[in-house]
Amino acid sequence: MRGEAEIEQLLARSELEPVTGAAADGTPLLEQAQKTAATAAGLASADPYSAYVLAYDAARFACIALLAQQGIRATTGGGHYAVERAVRAQFGDGFRPFGGLRRRRNELEYPHLPSDTASREEAAEAVEVARRLIAAASHLLPQLALFAARQEP
């Protein structure tokens, strides 16, 4: 499986952890991603900062939906960066834009200057990136099975 070694390392370092039961169903997270993206789109002109943060959240929900479907989730120690690494390792460069959204969201959340904020154009682009990631996750989700770590003999 593509990215298996990376996922196993993230699990071994407790940056990801296994989940079972209802927590191993990515469908509700994907639905939340779609709702959040729609909310972000509605705010892009009036409140670009909030729209950008919500677009990032929508993209993150799509990514964690994929992991949930595999029976894994990020820990507080692994955080959003573990999500980024896990989806890129498994699903490729199509998920690279999530990293850009994550980094820019961090810049917005922890600005150097009070004037560091998102523009309308930047917020609208973030919404489009989130929508593309949600579409990719929607396509992948039904194809995923629970992640099974290799057992050492």
pLDDT tens digit sequence for 53-74: 999 999 999 999 999 999 999 9
Q: How far apart are CA 4 and CA 47, in angstroms?
A: 40
Rounded-to-10 torsion of CA 80, 82, 88, 94? 0
The mean of the pLDDT values for the chain is: 94
Query: Per the confidence metrics, is the pTM higher than 0.85?
Result: yes
CA angle (79 as vertex; 1, 29 as ends), nearest 5: 70
Domain limits of the chain?
Answer: 4-143
For domain 4-143, the CATH class is: mainly alpha
Q: How far apart are CA 63 and CA 48, in angstroms?
A: 22
Q: How far apart are CA 49 and CA 118, in angstroms?
A: 5
